[in-house]
């Protein structure tokens, strides 16, 4: 017994000694290491910029005018001044006509930070500020000169507007891949855009703020870390991060929570775009999840674009309070489904029931009425106030049977509205637009419909692709030298009152006012809410020391970059498919190994993992993110390439 105690004590002493030596070694080695360069987050950058928003001593006759105050919204400005008394300034941004002129009245106060939106590019803009003070009418015109638009910005090739039936709202577009999130007026002039890369949906929350994707990828090809809540100045109020990231769509619940199309990157099946989460905007907690693998068979109802990892491809999320249900759009099953919000159980499916299992046939509807057609590869499914199901029917193939596929040159995209009877399980087509336009209006991917009011809609065919002058049945990224087009139509009582064509592809369109009703700018700190989660450690080794090579030409040939973001370590490099690569974080005799997957689709949807001859020879650029969650303290950074461990001479601290 005594010997056993001695051995235990001796073992503890040795372990402590190892830890001390390991700690000494890592500490000593850090004396010769540099900290990994940190990139400033947009939230940190905006805090620095707000230090220059000085108000003391500025008056209406000598205001502090800051163009593009946050560096990401070039056609916006902030006008800052003080008044002796409480006044309510009214701002008018002069346009080329009545429908391109914007007016907003701000709340009373003595300190005024007036956000100015809707400036023209490359022009001296005139802004009129009016208010009454001490019985006098103050009317001040200021001028703000803006820069030219970026050379790669898409400008309309055609605009048709029946102005007597239009309002002075703007049409906000998001890009499908490259491009800008931007807004056009009824004349087709660009009146707002973001320089930071924002994808997917753009819409206004109940509090008036916009909600857009972050510019940061969490996984290829387009899964973003989360969402920014921001205004048109580009000021961020909240950044929402999610472990599974964000893609395509979100829905703001009545309680303020967000239903978000996300992913479960930890699922054993390796699937994507089949997972919906509910995010508490106050705490960042995920309070509810919906895994569609628990609702449907992955192998049922396959369209041409189906794959084993992207089997559903959910591209829209809509909550209906009347039925307490969620409507989702599965592009790769040609199916719009509805599930119970409380239980997640399937309620119904809209689509052709061909190739679906017998157990699901009871969830499909029977068509009634004339001129009925199913939807194919659809997007943007929603429930209207009348209870109709409104869908953007892309129209791919128009059949699940390959021998019956309709060629792209004979296809068409349309907005379609269905009336459903869930008691009788019947479906009736009550409205459509786009079929009459034929293949010129055909988008094989993306696109959108919007409900503005009864009999007032937008149909956005945003993914028109021509290859060698012929309609393509594939997204733009699948073909070289493709000609792109986006065609957006606004209809009122079945009359086209506005149409804008752009020489690019756009994901979504929203028609919104420039100012919201209670808009008043205030300087306040942004919050980071939620988490990217803890990155899985692929291997963990206990070692007294790490013997590593110095950086040599072989290491340099991989063009490795290591940067630290506010919440993660980002490592990029160029590697061949046959390379075996690990990132190693070393601290106190423990080495954490994180495998670097060399793939064109580590988690992907509309991409293939086929390497070209050049990529096989030279490799591809890939990225590995290691999140701050689970990390604590200082770590020496090593890169292991094909069994050779390299000392980067850098460390990271979280």
Over the stretch 495-550, which tens digit does the pLDDT of each residue have?
Answer: 999 999 999 999 999 999 999 999 999 999 999 999 999 999 999 999 877 789 99
Neighbouring C-alpha atoms within 13 Å toward the C-beta of 149: 19
Rounded Cα gap, residues 580 and 274, in angstroms:
30
Rounded Cα gap, residues 609 and 399, in angstroms:
27
Q: What is the pLDDT of residues 622-651, one digit of tens each?
A: 999 999 999 999 999 999 999 999 999 999
Inform me whether the pLDDT recorded for 345 exceeds 50: yes
Query: Which residue has tokens 């786009």?
Result: 434
Rounded Cα gap, residues 643 and 553, in angstroms:
16
Q: Report the CATH number at residue 129.
A: 2.60.40.3100
Q: What is the CB neighbour count within 10 angstroms for residue 446? A: 29
Contacts of 122 (CB under 8 A, 6+ apart): 146, 147, 148, 149
> Do residue 111 and residue 9 come from a single domain?
no
Q: Are strands 258-262 and 158-161 parallel, antiparallel or unpaired?
A: unpaired
> Do residue 15 and residue 109 come from a single domain?
no
In a domain, 158, yes or no: no
Predicted confidence at residue 604, as pLDDT, reads: 59
Predicted confidence at residue 501, as pLDDT, reads: 98
* Token representation of residue 47: 């805090």
In a domain, 119, yes or no: yes
> Do residue 16 and residue 99 come from a single domain?
no
Q: What is the CB neighbour count within 10 angstroms for residue 25? A: 17
Q: Extract the runs of DSSP E, i.e. beta strands, from 48-154.
A: 64-67, 77-87, 90-93, 102-105, 109-116, 124-133, 136-145
Contacts of 362 (CB under 8 A, 6+ apart): 425
Predicted confidence at residue 368, as pLDDT, reads: 98
In a domain, 314, yes or no: no
More confident residue, 221 or 231: 231
Predicted confidence at residue 480, as pLDDT, reads: 85
Rounded Cα gap, residues 386 and 393, in angstroms:
20
* Contact by Cβ (8 Å): 449, 415: yes
Q: Are strands 644-653 and 34-35 parallel, antiparallel or unpaired?
A: parallel
Phi, psi of 243 (to 5 degrees): -60, -35
- Lowest mean pLDDT, pick from 144-158, 195-209, 253-267, 588-602: 588-602
Query: Which residue has tokens 């369109």?
Result: 509
Predicted confidence at residue 16, as pLDDT, reads: 46
Length of the chain: 654
Domain end point (choices 114, 145, 176): 145
In a domain, 432, yes or no: no
Rounded Cα gap, residues 481 and 469, in angstroms:
11
Query: Which residue has tokens 């989460």?
Result: 277
Rounded Cα gap, residues 338 and 65, in angstroms:
50
Mean of pLDDT over the chain:
93
Helices (H) and strands (E) in the chain, counts: 4, 45
- Residue 202 confidence class, pLDDT cut points 50, 70, 90: very high
**What DSSP state is assigned to residue 362?**
G
In a domain, 478, yes or no: no
pTM, entire model: 0.93
Q: What is the pLDDT of residues 254-275, one digit of tens each?
A: 999 999 999 999 988 899 999 9
Rounded Cα gap, residues 385 and 316, in angstroms:
18
Q: Are strands 346-350 and 366-368 parallel, antiparallel or unpaired?
A: unpaired
- Which of 23, 19, 18 lies closest to 635, judged by CA? 23
* Contact by Cβ (8 Å): 133, 479: no
Q: What is the pLDDT of residues 587-618, one digit of tens each?
A: 999 999 999 988 876 655 655 567 778 888 88
Bridge partners of 449, per DSSP, are 459
Q: Extract the runs of DSSP E, i.e. beta strands, from 167-283.
A: 170-175, 182-184, 190-193, 203-204, 210-213, 217-219, 223-230, 236-246, 250-252, 258-262, 275-279
* Contact by Cβ (8 Å): 60, 84: no
Domain end point (choices 96, 124, 145): 145
Q: What is the pLDDT of residues 451-498, one digit of tens each?
A: 999 999 999 999 999 999 999 999 998 888 899 999 999 999 999 999
Q: Are strands 527-530 and 236-246 parallel, antiparallel or unpaired?
A: parallel
- pLDDT over 90 percentage in the chain: 88
Q: What is the pLDDT of residues 272-285, one digit of tens each?
A: 999 999 999 999 99
In a domain, 37, yes or no: no
> Do residue 551 and residue 638 come from a single domain?
yes
Mean pLDDT of 40-53: 95
> Do residue 64 and residue 139 come from a single domain?
yes
> Do residue 19 and residue 83 come from a single domain?
no
Please count the structural domains in the chain.
2
Rounded Cα gap, residues 615 and 609, in angstroms:
11
> Do residue 24 and residue 68 come from a single domain?
no
Neighbouring C-alpha atoms within 13 Å toward the C-beta of 575: 25
> Do residue 60 and residue 134 come from a single domain?
yes
Predicted confidence at residue 290, as pLDDT, reads: 98
B/e letters for 235-270, b = 16+ CB within 10 Å, e = fewer, are: bbbbbbbbbbbbbbbbbbeeeebbbbbbbbbeeeee
Inform me whether the pLDDT recorded for 388 exceeds 90: yes
> Do residue 552 and residue 612 come from a single domain?
yes
> Do residue 92 and residue 14 come from a single domain?
no
Predicted confidence at residue 297, as pLDDT, reads: 97
> Do residue 25 and residue 108 come from a single domain?
no
Helix residue spans in 308-377 (DSSP H): none
**Contacts within 8 Å (CB) and 24+ apart, 251-256:** 251/317, 251/318, 251/319, 252/203, 252/205, 252/206, 252/211, 253/278, 253/319, 254/321, 256/206, 256/281, 256/282
In a domain, 345, yes or no: no
CA torsion 562→568→574→580, rounded to 10°? 110
In a domain, 62, yes or no: yes
- Which of 110, 116, 104, 107 lies closest to 69, judged by CA? 116
> Do residue 550 and residue 647 come from a single domain?
yes
- Which of 94, 63, 57 lies closest to 79, judged by CA? 63
Predicted confidence at residue 609, as pLDDT, reads: 60
Domain end point (choices 145, 166, 200): 145
Mean pLDDT of 409-413: 98
Q: Is the dihedral of CA 475, 481, 482, 485 positive or negative?
A: positive
Q: Are strands 426-433 and 366-368 parallel, antiparallel or unpaired?
A: parallel
Predicted confidence at residue 612, as pLDDT, reads: 79
Rounded Cα gap, residues 530 and 241, in angstroms:
5
Rounded Cα gap, residues 185 and 192, in angstroms:
9
Three-state helix/strand/coil letters over 453-496 = ECCEEEEEEEEEEEECCEECCCCHHHCCCCEEEEEEEEEECCEE
* Contact by Cβ (8 Å): 265, 300: no
* Token representation of residue 218: 């969490």
Mean pLDDT of 343-363: 98
- Residue 15 confidence class, pLDDT cut points 50, 70, 90: very low
The domain in which residue 90 lies consists of 54-145
Rounded Cα gap, residues 233 and 69, in angstroms:
7
- Which of 313, 329, 470 lies closest to 389, judged by CA? 329
Instruction: Give whole-number Cα distances, 504 to 48, 152, 190, 446, 482, in Å.
Output: 35, 11, 15, 12, 10
Q: What is the pLDDT of residues 104-139, one digit of tens each?
A: 999 999 999 999 999 999 999 999 999 999 999 999
Predicted confidence at residue 228, as pLDDT, reads: 98
Contacts of 43 (CB under 8 A, 6+ apart): 236, 239, 526, 528, 566
């Amino acid at each position: 017994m005594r010997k056993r105690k001695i051995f235990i004590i001796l073992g503890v002493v040795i372990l402590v000694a190892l830890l001390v030596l390991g700690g000494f070694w890592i500490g000593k080695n850090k004396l010769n290491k540099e900290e990994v360069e940190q990139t400033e987050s947009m939230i940190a950058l905006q805090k620095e910029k707000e230090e220059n928003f000085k108000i003391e001593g500025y008056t209406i006759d000598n205001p502090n005018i800051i163009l593009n105050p946050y560096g990401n919204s070039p056609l916006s400005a902030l006008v800052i001044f003080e008044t002796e008394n409480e006044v309510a300034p009214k701002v008018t941004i002069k346009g080329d006509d009545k429908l391109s002129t914007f007016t907003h009245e701000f709340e009373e106060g003595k300190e005024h930070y007036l956000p100015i939106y809707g400036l023209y590019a490359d022009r001296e803009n005139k802004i009129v500020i009016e208010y009454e003070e001490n019985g006098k009418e103050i009317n001040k015109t200021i001028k703000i000169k803006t820069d030219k638009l970026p050379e790669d910005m898409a400008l309309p090739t055609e605009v048709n507007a029946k102005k007597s039936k239009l309002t002075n709202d703007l049409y906000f577009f998001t890009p499908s891949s490259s491009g800008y999130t931007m807004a056009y007026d009824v004349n087709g002039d660009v009146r707002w855009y973001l320089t930071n890369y924002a994808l997917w949906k753009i819409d206004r929350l109940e509090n008036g703020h916009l909600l857009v994707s972050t510019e940061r990828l969490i996984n290829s090809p387009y899964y973003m870390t989360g969402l920014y809540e921001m205004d048109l100045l580009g000021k961020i109020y909240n950044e929402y991060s999610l472990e599974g990231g964000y893609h395509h769509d979100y829905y703001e619940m009545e309680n303020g929570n967000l239903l978000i199309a996300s992913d479960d990157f930890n699922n054993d099946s390796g699937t994507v775009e089949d997972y919906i989460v509910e995010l508490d905007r106050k705490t960042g907690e995920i309070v509810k999840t919906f895994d569609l693998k628990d609702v449907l068979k992955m192998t049922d109802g396959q369209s041409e674009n189906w794959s084993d990892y992207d089997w559903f491809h959910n591209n829209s999320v809509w909550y209906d309070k009347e039925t307490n249900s969620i409507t989702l759009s599965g592009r790769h099953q040609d199916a719009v489904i509805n599930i119970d919000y409380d239980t997640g159980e399937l309620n119904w499916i809209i689509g052709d029931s061909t190739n679906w299992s017998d157990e699901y046939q009871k969830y499909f509807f029977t068509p009634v009425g004339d001129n009925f057609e199913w939807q194919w590869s659809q997007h943007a499914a929603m429930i209207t106030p009348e209870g109709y199901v409104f869908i953007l029917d892309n129209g791919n193939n128009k059949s699940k049977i390959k021998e019956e596929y309709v060629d792209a040159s004979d296809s068409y995209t349309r907005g379609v509205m269905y009336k459903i009877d869930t008691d009788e399980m019947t479906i009736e087509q009550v409205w459509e637009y786009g079929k009459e336009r034929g293949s010129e209006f055909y988008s094989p991917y993306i696109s959108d419909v919007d409900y503005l009011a009864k009999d007032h809609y937008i149909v956005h065919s945003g993914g028109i692709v021509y290859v060698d002058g012929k309609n393509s049945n594939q997204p733009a990224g699948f073909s070289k030298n493709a000609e792109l087009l986006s065609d957006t139509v606004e209809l009122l009582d079945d009359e086209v009152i506005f149409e804008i064509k752009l020489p690019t592809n756009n994901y979504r369109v929203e028609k919104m006012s420039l100012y919201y009703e209670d808009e008043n700018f205030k300087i306040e700190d942004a919050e980071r809410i939620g988490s990217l989660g803890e990155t899985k450690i692929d291997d963990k080794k206990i070692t007294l020391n790490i013997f590593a090579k110095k950086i040599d030409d072989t290491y340099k040939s991989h063009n490795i970059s290591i940067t630290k973001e506010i919440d993660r370590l980002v490592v990029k490099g160029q590697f061949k498919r046959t390379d075996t690569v690990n990132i190693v974080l070393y601290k106190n005799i423990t080495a954490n190994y994180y495998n670097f997957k060399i793939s064109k689709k580590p988690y992907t949807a509309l991409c293939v993992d086929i390497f070209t001859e050049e990529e096989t020879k030279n490799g591809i650029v890939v990225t590995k993110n290691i999140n701050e969650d689970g990390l604590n303290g200082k770590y020496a950074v090593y890169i292991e390439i094909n069994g050779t461990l390299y000392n980067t001479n850098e460390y990271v601290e979280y």
